[in-house]
A = this chain, B = another copy of it.
Amino acid sequence: MKSSATGCSVEEAMRLLGGRWRLLLVSYLLDGPKRFNDLRRDVPGISQRMLTLDLRALEEAGLVLRTVFAEVPVKVEYQLTEDGERLRPVVEVMRNFGLWLKARSALLV
Contact = CB atoms under 8 A, between A and B. Distances in A.
A101 B20 contact: no
A97 B102 contact: no
Counting chain B CB atoms within 10 Å of each CB, the highest count among A24, A44, A83, A102 belongs to A24
Contacts of A14: 18, 20, 23-24, 94, 98
Size category of the binding interface on chain A = 35 or more
A51 interface: no
Interface of A: 1-2, 5-6, 8-20, 23-24, 27, 43-46, 62, 83, 86-87, 89-91, 93-102, 104
7 contacts: A2-B20, A9-B97, A9-B101, A10-B24, A10-B91, A14-B18, A14-B24
Instruction: List 4 A-B pairs, minimum CB-CB distance, nearest first.
Output: A5-B45, A9-B98, A13-B98, A12-B98
Given A5-B44, A11-B24, 10 more contacts: A5-B43, A9-B95, A9-B98, A9-B101, A9-B102, A12-B98, A13-B95, A13-B97, A14-B20, A14-B94
